[in-house]
Structure 1
Amino acid sequence: MPAFSLDPPQTAWCAELRTLAAERLRPLAEKGEPGHVNRALVTELGRLGLLERLFTSGAVDLCLMRESLAYGCTEAETALALQGLGAYPVHAHGTPAQRERWLPRVADGSAVAAFALSEPGAGSDAAALELHAEPDAPGPGHPTDALAAEPDGSARWRLSGEKCWISNAPEADFYTVFARTTPGAGSRGVTAFLVPADRAGLTGSGLDMLSPHPIGALHFDAVPVTADDMLGEPDRGFRVAMGTLNLFRPSVGAFAVGMAQAALDATLAHTAGRDAFGGKLKDLQTVAHQVAEMALRTEAARLMVYAAASAYDEGGGDVPRRAAMAKLLATETAQYVVDQAVQLHGARALRRGHLLEHLYREVRAPRIYEGASEVQRGIIAKELYADMEAGK
């Protein structure tokens, strides 16, 4: 089946999701407090079975969910995506005990997850992170360079440092945290840990951001972790992070496509009904051509998103390049389409509460998070040259 062709059940499911977003999720979103986790919304996503699908469906289904929800309720889309981003490393790399404790609660919406990678000095350059895991030295005479252990032999560390720009912080129930366990080793010296929010020494604060969803900073003051908290292997945490991002990057593109489509549809309705210069706005060639360009770019982005998602589901070797291309094109396209939609609507689109005013604030952040557009271009170029050198 071509990557861009949806079968009738998928088409019907997308329509159902749009209806659910508008009728059941948007009212809950409107009752939420900007900058804070909307637990009623998360619970409803769980009740509808959408959070469970994060762990039972492939990348294409994830993209269908994110695009459809974004069209009708961006807050619901973001709440779903953040649950997936924070909990997917547990699903993919967690121990049986970790999965048993947390994944059912993530799926039913009773536990909120967060993905804690970025730092004040390590945003786009994630391998430069400085949150460090020091071997625990519990008693006098214990060598500071030796690894302490629990009675069962599991290793112990203390996490110290800062995380910043973390979605769902500081209100999440647990964090997937990436910490440096081997100094000077770059991306090869990072380990992933599952850190419950009530762990001693972990505090946080909210950040007042343009986007309405919760974003905060975390402070780690010798937070204790053991090997039982580890996700994956020691010093291989960067692979955990990149594997998660390779799955979610195309779906960030799907989020962007959903916003672009909502802006395009609003523009079609507005220009078809708005009287101007003795006719309708759509009768002006400049307007009609602009709407055509918006539609063209939106559909091109959609095709690339689902091509990347299909490549992921099929286990293709070019997933990093396709994922980067999809996120780059879709997020840049959405910025363009929403901006043009605002221009064609005029001042009314800037009024607080207007759909486009909302989308105008929402559409900016995806060009930065989960790898800025410049980072995606770097990934694409790196993969292209690697393929050339390999003779592909």
Structure 2
Amino acid sequence: MPAFSLEPEQQAWCAELRTLAAQRLRPVAEKGEPGRVDRALLAELGRLGLLERLFTSGALDLCLMRESLAHGCTEAETALALQGLGAHPVHAHGTPAQRARWLPAVADGSAVAAFALSERAAGSDAAALTLRADPDPDPGAGGGAGRGWRLTGEKCWISNAPEADFYTVFARTAPGAGSRGITAFLVPADRPGLTGSALDMLSPHPIGALAFDGVPVTADDVLGEADRGFRVAMGTLNLFRPSVGAFAVGMAQAALEATLAHTARRDAFGGKLSDLQTVAHQVAEMALRTEAARLMVYAAATAYDDGAPGVPRRAAMAKLLATETAQYVVDAAVQLHGARALRRGHLLEHLYREVRAPRIYEGASEVQRGIIAKELYAETPPPAGEAP
């Protein structure tokens, strides 16, 4: 299927999701407490079958879900995305026992997942993480058997912390080995030695820090292979980065539609605001950039689903373009609406707060440019007659 074309069934599904977001999910989200996990909203997402779909859909379907939900209820979109981000490593790399224990509960919304990669000094540079996994002489203390470790250190800027029920945690099992010495662990929140604290952030969902004081883990808790956890992290991010772009596109589309409606009815200078060429051209630019970002997101997701080459570069391009575009579109929409857009409760006031964070999380815009450049140079053969 060409990346720029959706089948009628997909278009109908997106329309259904936008309706569900506005009519079923938005009323639930409005009752939630900012900065806390909205378990009622997760339960509703579970009843609608959307959380289960996280584990049966490809990258393009994930993008369509996130874009469509973001159009009508950003809180529902984020709740769904965080469940997927935290649980995807379990789905993709977990043992049968790990999957049986956690994935059904994630799918029905009764268990909250979190992806614990970032640290205070290792946010953008994920390979520099310092959370230690030291060999444990008594591995049975973690409730498992065989090889064991004790986790010591901190994680920071973790979405759904400290309220999640389990964490996908990335720790250093081989000191001095860079990205080659990291292991992914599934760590239940009630594991002894694990504590967390909330951070007061510009975010409707909880973001917190985690402290690991000799937290016991065993081979039963490893996701994938020991010392190969960086692959787990990057594989997860390559899937979810285009869908971060889809989230951004959904917000941009909502801002664009609000701006079209406002400028078409707003009286100004003896006519409608839309009659002013500067305004009309601004709206055209907003639409142009939104559609370009959407197409790049769909192309990156389709490349992932098809196993095409260059997925890290495409994923980085999609996230970069879409998040930067959404920031531009929402800001332009606020400008064209004027002071009314800054009132608490206005759609654009909400989007203005929501749109900023995606340019940072799952790799800041500057990191995405670095990935793109690295991949481009890696794909470029050296000039004839020169050694590589």
Cα 1:33–1:152 shift into 2, 3 Å: closer
Q: Is the aligned partner of 1:24 residue 2:16?
A: no
1:257 alignment partner AA: V
* TM-aligned CA deviation for residue 390 of structure 1: 7.5
What is the aligned partner in structure 2 of residue 154 from structure 1? 146
In structure 1, the residue corresponding to 2:21 is in which secondary structure?
Answer: helix
In structure 2, the residue corresponding to 1:14 is in which secondary structure?
Answer: helix
1:59 alignment partner AA: A
User: Deviations for 1:256-280, whole angstroms, at most 9, x for unmatched residues?
Assistant: 0000000000000000000000000
Preserved CA contact (<8 Å) 1:328 1:376:
yes
* TM-aligned CA deviation for residue 45 of structure 1: 0.4
Cα 1:126–1:151 shift into 2, 3 Å: closer
Report the aligned-residue RMSD: 1.4
What is the aligned partner in structure 1 of residue 193 from structure 2? 201
1:303 alignment partner AA: L
**1:236-385 alignment runs, 5 A limit:** 236-385=228-377
Cα 1:148–1:101 shift into 2, 3 Å: closer
In structure 1, the residue corresponding to 2:186 is in which secondary structure?
Answer: strand
* TM-aligned CA deviation for residue 148 of structure 1: 8.6
Q: Is the aligned partner of 1:233 residue 2:225?
A: yes
1:223 counterpart (188, 211, 215): 215
- In the superposition, the TM-score normalised over structure 1's length comes to 0.96
Preserved CA contact (<8 Å) 2:43 2:108:
yes
What is the aligned partner in structure 1 of residue 11 from structure 2? 11
Q: Equivalents in 2 of 1:286, 1:235: separation in Å? A: 56
What is the aligned partner in structure 1 of residue 386 from structure 2? none
Q: Equivalents in 2 of 1:123, 1:347: separation in Å? A: 35
In structure 1, the residue corresponding to 2:63 is in which secondary structure?
Answer: helix
2:381 alignment partner AA: E
* TM-aligned CA deviation for residue 2 of structure 1: 1.3
Q: Is the aligned partner of 1:77 residue 2:74?
A: no
Q: Equivalents in 1 of 2:289, 2:14: separation in Å? A: 21
What is the aligned partner in structure 1 of residue 53 from structure 2? 53
Any gaps of 5 or more consecutive residues in structure 1? 139-146
Q: Equivalents in 2 of 1:280, 1:153: separation in Å? A: 72
* TM-aligned CA deviation for residue 386 of structure 1: 0.5
Preserved CA contact (<8 Å) 1:135 1:148:
no
What is the aligned partner in structure 2 of residue 62 from structure 1? 62
User: Deviations for 1:112-151, whole angstroms, at most 9, x for unmatched residues?
Assistant: 000000001110001110100011134xxxxxxxx89999
In structure 2, the residue corresponding to 1:191 is in which secondary structure?
Answer: strand
Preserved CA contact (<8 Å) 1:149 1:155:
no
Preserved CA contact (<8 Å) 2:145 2:220:
no
Cα 1:15–1:129 shift into 2, 3 Å: same
Any gaps of 5 or more consecutive residues in structure 2? 384-388
Aligned-residue sequence identity (percent) comes to 86
* TM-aligned CA deviation for residue 34 of structure 1: 0.4
Preserved CA contact (<8 Å) 1:134 1:158:
yes
1:113 alignment partner AA: A
What is the aligned partner in structure 2 of residue 141 from structure 1? none
2:244 alignment partner AA: V
* TM-aligned CA deviation for residue 389 of structure 1: 2.6
* TM-aligned CA deviation for residue 77 of structure 1: 0.1
What is the aligned partner in structure 1 of residue 93 from structure 2? 93
2:116 alignment partner AA: A
Cα 1:270–1:149 shift into 2, 3 Å: closer
Q: Which runs of 4+ in 1 moved over 3 A?
A: 147-153
User: Deviations for 1:352-392, whole angstroms, at most 9, x for unmatched residues?
Assistant: 0000000000000000000000000000000100000389x
In structure 2, the residue corresponding to 1:154 is in which secondary structure?
Answer: coil
Preserved CA contact (<8 Å) 1:131 1:162:
yes
1:51 alignment partner AA: L
| Matched positions, count | 383
In structure 1, the residue corresponding to 2:380 is in which secondary structure?
Answer: helix
User: Deviations for 1:8-44, whole angstroms, at most 9, x for unmatched residues?
Assistant: 1101100000000000100111000000000000010
Q: Equivalents in 2 of 1:152, 1:185: separation in Å? A: 26
Q: Equivalents in 2 of 1:50, 1:276: separation in Å? A: 44
Preserved CA contact (<8 Å) 1:136 1:148:
no
* TM-aligned CA deviation for residue 249 of structure 1: 0.2
Q: Equivalents in 1 of 2:350, 2:130: separation in Å? A: 35
Cα 1:71–1:150 shift into 2, 3 Å: closer
Preserved CA contact (<8 Å) 2:154 2:211:
yes
